[in-house]
């Protein structure tokens, strides 16, 4: 079993605390992605799990064993680094076999395991080259091969795809997912790219400024962000956020925006807000579409008219840019057609999917 | 057509310039080597004999104490002293250079830049300016005319440079290399010897050759601090060939050849590393 527990883990560099009391339980064979903007402490957290950074406070255990004072080599982990860190003076074969050689495995076992890993990653043809003779994607594969060859309990990845070009990144992303299905192990994966996080993770851990903000399955985090930070960080395009104030109109609570625009408070949130409360109204591009160009709306729909400033056709869908009460918002349109700049369209808002956040704390009022 | 001719002329001109420059640089050296194989008679002949008529190993036999003509200069002892002093001081300077270079490249510590600057500034003091203080301290410590005394001086002379050069090499090696090795099952020590050292060995080799040549060729300090066959080195021994009224040019040149040859051999052996060392020809993987 290779479950991982982080128990109130902190990290200081000198006087500066960069990770503040993190708690996280990672299950056996789970694929967990730590995601957050650069500098939020993802790498530091991962490196503490690896044993490459000392843990200032708290406790980390792997497979039920506290590893705080264990050297990396005793933790039964492997790691793929952002710059791959392949050994330049060794061939691919030697790179893959290095860990086994250090562990004093027999030649036969080394050969067999190396070949097995090479087959999984389709790098059999590269075995006698040195890292300098490989392309970025091939180096990436070799780095993953080196990680799986020892059959460790845990794989750690630190932004492994960020040095690849966009196309290769998408391809390798799928490979990593496939790898996890073939080689069942616990994976902790660090990235600043929310798309990678969404596509790869069983569970996403959103971090900010050394804290964990939200943990959950990708769709849960996408659909129920706990605050405005997660709402705007996860999902592309980011969630539209418009400040407003709660007021009673026609016997129902409404969010009143600048310039007299209003939007009814979703029914399930009606008892979470009070008149006069300052809030931030949030909705995803997919939940506000022009009529006749939208997906069927579940639950309550709200009609409004918007002028479209810019349209960005992406093929099956088109992104529409408008201004709403002083905020720039993005909406989506299916069944593409030409949109004239400034064209006024009738929109449908899927009210039940919208969000309300407290203006002061930024916390979601869905609770 | 015109283009090609222009280019050709350029190439030829470059070669001629290179050739002239090399003659200027090498001629004295070649002349010394040639002189080492000629008898004194021919060397001192007037008018000068430009094309050597007799070439022989007589001068070498003479200074090593074989053959008919004997001289009273203990070249084998000087040679041994030079070798022991240069090799030992190089070895120690390399060990310290490697530890120091690694520490400067890999660790954060207080006043790091200050220490580094201090090391480099120590190189701005001409060695000979220190000869008097060293002489006084060494005579108190009984280190005058000992190999140990010279070794200590040469180690001190060489470590700023070895640290600086080796630091540059370790700095080029991403620290993730060592970390990957540690995750792969190495101790820090193993990771160093298996991964980081092989990648930095060009730097270590070039630092080594520079340190060796410095110690091997150094004259000024050695001439002040060595007296006898206990510690006198080859460059100092050269002066033994000057008597009050005469200079044994043949013997001196033969000895110069003996000084030059090991240095040349060593340089050739490590020249691949030397080039990497001088160009900092990376380890990008
Ligand atoms: N060796 C270090 N010394 C001092 N501060 C560091 C060191 N490494 C990282 N930090 C700081 O710790 C914070 C978290 O860094 P990191 O974990 O690398 O962020 P991320 O991987 O999320 O981009 C950053 O503010 C960074 O400046
Ligand atoms: Mg990072």
Instruction: Give percent of chain A above pLDDT 70.
Output: 99
Task: State mean pLDDT over A267-273.
Answer: 88
Q: Does A98 touch chain B (CB under 8 A)?
A: yes
| Cβ–ligand 1 contact at A34 (below 6 Å) | no
CB A146 within 8 A of CB A95: yes
pLDDT-based confidence at residue A287 (cuts at 50, 70, 90): very high
pLDDT at residue B156 greater than cutoff 60: yes
Residue A89 has pLDDT above 50, yes or no: yes
Ligand number nearest CA of A20 is: 1
pLDDT for the residue A168 = 87
| A230 exposure class (CB count in 10 Å sphere: 0-12, 13-18, 19+) | buried
Q: Assess whether B95 and B171 both reside in one domain.
A: yes
Query: In the structure encoding, which two tokens stand for residue B197, read together?
Result: 């050292």
Mean pLDDT of chain B: 87
pLDDT reading at B282 higher than 80 = no
Asked if the model's pLDDT at residue A178 lies above 60, the reply is yes
Section A215-231 average pLDDT: 95
d(CA A81, ligand 2 centre) in Å: 10
My answer on whether B148 and B247 are in the same domain is: yes
The residue-averaged pLDDT of A127-143 equals 92
Residue B63: inside a domain: no
Q: Do strands A317-324 and A301-313 pair parallel, antiparallel, or not at all (unpaired)?
A: antiparallel
pLDDT at residue B70, rounded to an integer = 65
B64 within some domain:
no
Q: Which of A214, A233, A252 is the last residue of a domain?
A: A233
Confidence of residue B275 (pLDDT cuts 50, 70, 90): low
Given an 8 Å threshold on Cβ–Cβ distance, is A87 in contact with B195?
A: yes
pLDDT digits (tens, 9 = 90+) for A231-259: 999 998 999 999 999 999 888 899 989 87
Ligand 1 atom nearest A11 alpha carbon = 12
Rg (alpha carbons) of chain B, rounded to whole number:
24
Whether A325 and A354 map to the same domain: the answer is yes
My answer on whether A139 and A65 are in the same domain is yes
Nearest CA in chain B to A154: B183
Answer yes or no: is B62 within a domain: no
pLDDT of residue A361: 93
Q: Inform me whether the C-beta atom of residue B282 falls under 8 Å from chain A C-beta atoms.
A: no
Q: What is the pLDDT of residue A154?
A: 95
pLDDT at B216: 94
Using the 3D structure, point to which of A184, A216, A233 is the last residue of a domain: A233
Q: A99 and A229 share a domain?
A: yes
In chain A, the number of structural domains is: 2
Q: Indicate if ligand 1 lies below 6 Å from the C-beta of A187.
A: no
Mean pLDDT (whole number) for A96-103: 95
pLDDT of residue A107 exceeding 80, the answer is: yes
- Do residues A1 and A24 make contact, with C-beta atoms less than 8 angstroms apart? no
Q: What is the mean pLDDT of residues B69-89?
A: 87
**Region A337-361 average pLDDT:** 91
pLDDT of residue B127: 79
pLDDT of B123 reads 84
Q: Is A40 close to ligand 1, i.e. is its CB under 6 Å away?
A: yes
Q: Which of B177, B185, B190 sits opposite A87 (nearest CB)?
A: B177
More confident site: B73 or B33:
B33
Same domain, B120 and B14: no
Interface mutation target, options A44, A95, A102, chain B, most CBs of B under 10 Å:
A102
Domain-located, residue B276? yes
Domain count, chain B: 2
- A61 and A149, same domain (yes or no): yes
Which domain, by its residues, includes B15? 2-56
B235 φψ region: left (φ > 0), alpha (ψ -120 to 50), beta (else): alpha
Categorize the per-residue pLDDT at B69 as very low, low, confident or very high, splitting at 50, 70 and 90.
low
Do both B155 and B32 map to the same domain? Answer: no
Instruction: Indicate if A134 and A222 belong to the same structural domain.
Output: yes
- The dihedral built from the CA positions of residue B160, B164, B165 and B170, taken in this order, carries a sign that is positive
CB contact under 8 A, B285 and A86: yes
Residue B70, domain member (yes or no): no
Indicate whether A363 belongs to any domain: no
What are A163's two structure tokens? 């040095």
A280 assigned to some structural domain: yes
Answer yes or no: is A157 within a domain. Answer: yes
Using 50, 70 and 90 to split pLDDT, how confident is the model at B278?
A: low
Q: Read off the pLDDT of each residue in A44-64 and give the average, rounded to a whole number.
A: 95
Mean pLDDT of chain A: 92
Furthest CA-CA distance within chain B: 76
Does the pLDDT of residue A292 top 90, yes or no?
Answer: no
Q: Which pair of structure tokens corresponds to residue A260?
A: 């007299």
With beta carbons under 8 A apart, name residues in chain A contacting B184: 73, 78, 98-99, 102, 146, 150
Q: What is the pTM of this model?
A: 0.84
Q: Do A300 and A207 fall into the same domain?
A: no
Residue A78, chain B, CB below 8 Å: the answer is: yes
Find the closest chain B residue to A90 by CA distance: B195
DSSP B13: H
Cα maximum dimension of chain A: 81
Q: Is the peptide bond before A237 cis (omega within 30 degrees of 0)?
A: yes
Domain that holds residue A103: 4-233
- Answer for the pair A325, A261: CB distance below 8 angstroms, yes or no: yes
| Residue A366 counted as domain residue | no
In angstroms, rounded to a whole number, what is the distance separating the alpha carbons of residues A78 and A156?
6
Which position has the higher pLDDT, B278 or A299? A299
Residues A278 and A324 in one domain: yes
**pLDDT reported for residue A57:** 93
**Residue ranges with CB less than 5 Å from ion ligand 2:** A 43
Which is more confident, B282 or A124? Answer: A124
Q: Is pLDDT larger for residue B282 or for residue A155?
A: A155
Q: Residue B283: pLDDT band by 50, 70, 90 thresholds?
A: very low
Which ligand neighbours the alpha carbon of A38 most closely?
1
Say whether pLDDT at B279 is over 70: no
Q: Is A18 in the pocket of ligand 1 (CB under 6 A)?
A: yes
């Amino acid at each position: 079993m290779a479950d991982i527990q982080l128990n109130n883990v902190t990290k200081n560099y000198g006087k500066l605390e960069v990770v503040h009391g993190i708690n996280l339980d990672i299950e056996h064979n789970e694929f967990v992605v730590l995601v957050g903007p650069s500098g939020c402490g993802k790498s530091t957290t991962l490196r503490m799990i690896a044993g490459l950074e000392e843990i200032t406070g708290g406790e980390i255990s792997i497979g039920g064993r506290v590893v705080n004072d264990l050297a990396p080599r005793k933790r039964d982990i492997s790691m793929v680094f952002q710059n791959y860190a392949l050994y330049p003076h060794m061939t691919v074969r030697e790179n893959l076999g290095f860990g086994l050689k250090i562990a004093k495995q027999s030649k036969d076992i080394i050969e067999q395991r190396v070949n097995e890993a090479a087959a999984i990653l389709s790098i059999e043809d590269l075995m006698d080259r040195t890292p300098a003779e490989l392309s970025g994607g091939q180096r990436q594969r070799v780095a993953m091969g080196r990680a799986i060859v020892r059959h460790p309990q845990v794989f750690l990845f630190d932004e492994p795809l960020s040095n690849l070009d966009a196309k290769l990144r998408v391809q390798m992303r799928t490979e990593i997912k496939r790898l996890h299905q073939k080689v069942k192990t616990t994976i902790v994966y660090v990235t600043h790219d929310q798309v990678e996080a969404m596509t790869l993770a069983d569970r996403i851990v959103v971090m900010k400024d050394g804290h964990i903000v939200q943990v959950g399955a990708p769709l849960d985090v996408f659909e129920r962000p706990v605050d405005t930070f997660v709402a705007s960080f996860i999902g592309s395009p980011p969630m539209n956020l418009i400040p407003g104030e709660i007021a009673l109109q026609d016997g129902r609570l409404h969010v009143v925006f600048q310039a007299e625009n209003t939007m009814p408070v979703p029914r399930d949130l009606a008892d979470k807000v009070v008149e006069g409360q300052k809030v931030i109204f949030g909705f995803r591009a997919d939940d506000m579409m022009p009529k006749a160009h939208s997906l069927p709306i579940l639950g309550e729909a709200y009609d409004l008219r918007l002028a479209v400033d810019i349209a960005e056709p992406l093929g099956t869908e088109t992104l529409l840019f408008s201004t709403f009460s002083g905020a720039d918002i993005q909406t989506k349109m299916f069944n593409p057609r030409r949109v004239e700049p400034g064209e006024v369209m009738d929109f449908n808002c899927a009210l039940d999917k919208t969000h309300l956040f407290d203006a002061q704390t930024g916390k979601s009022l869905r609770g | 057509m015109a283009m090609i001719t222009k280019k050709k002329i350029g190439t030829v001109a470059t070669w001629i310039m290179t050739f002239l420059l090399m003659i200027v640089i090498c001629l004295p050296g070649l002349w010394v080597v040639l002189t080492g194989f000629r008898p004194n008679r021919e060397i001192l002949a007037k008018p000068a004999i430009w094309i050597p008529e007799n070439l022989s190993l007589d001068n070498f036999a003479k200074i090593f104490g074989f053959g008919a003509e004997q001289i009273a200069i203990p070249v084998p002892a000087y040679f041994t002293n030079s070798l022991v002093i240069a090799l030992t001081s190089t070895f120690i300077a390399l060990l310290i250079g490697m530890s120091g270079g690694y520490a400067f490249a890999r660790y954060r510590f207080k006043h790091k830049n200050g220490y580094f600057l201090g090391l480099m500034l120590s190189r701005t003091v001409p060695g000979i300016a220190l000869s008097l203080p060293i002489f006084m301290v060494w005579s108190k410590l009984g280190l005058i005319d000992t190999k140990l005394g010279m070794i200590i001086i040469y180690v001190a002379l060489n470590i700023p440079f070895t640290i600086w050069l080796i630091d540059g090499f370790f700095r080029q090696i991403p620290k993730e290399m060592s970390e990957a090795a540690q995750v792969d099952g190495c101790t820090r020590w193993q990771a160093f010897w298996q991964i980081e050292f092989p990648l930095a060995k060009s730097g270590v080799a070039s630092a080594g050759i520079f340190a060796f040549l410095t110690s091997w060729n150094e004259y000024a300090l050695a001439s002040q601090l060595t007296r006898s066959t206990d510690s006198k080195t080859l460059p100092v021994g050269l002066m033994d060939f000057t008597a009050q009224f005469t200079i044994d040019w043949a013997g001196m040149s033969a000895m110069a050849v003996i000084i030059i040859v090991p240095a040349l051999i060593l340089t050739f052996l490590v020249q691949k590393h030397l080039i990497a060392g001088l160009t900092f020809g990376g380890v990008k993987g």
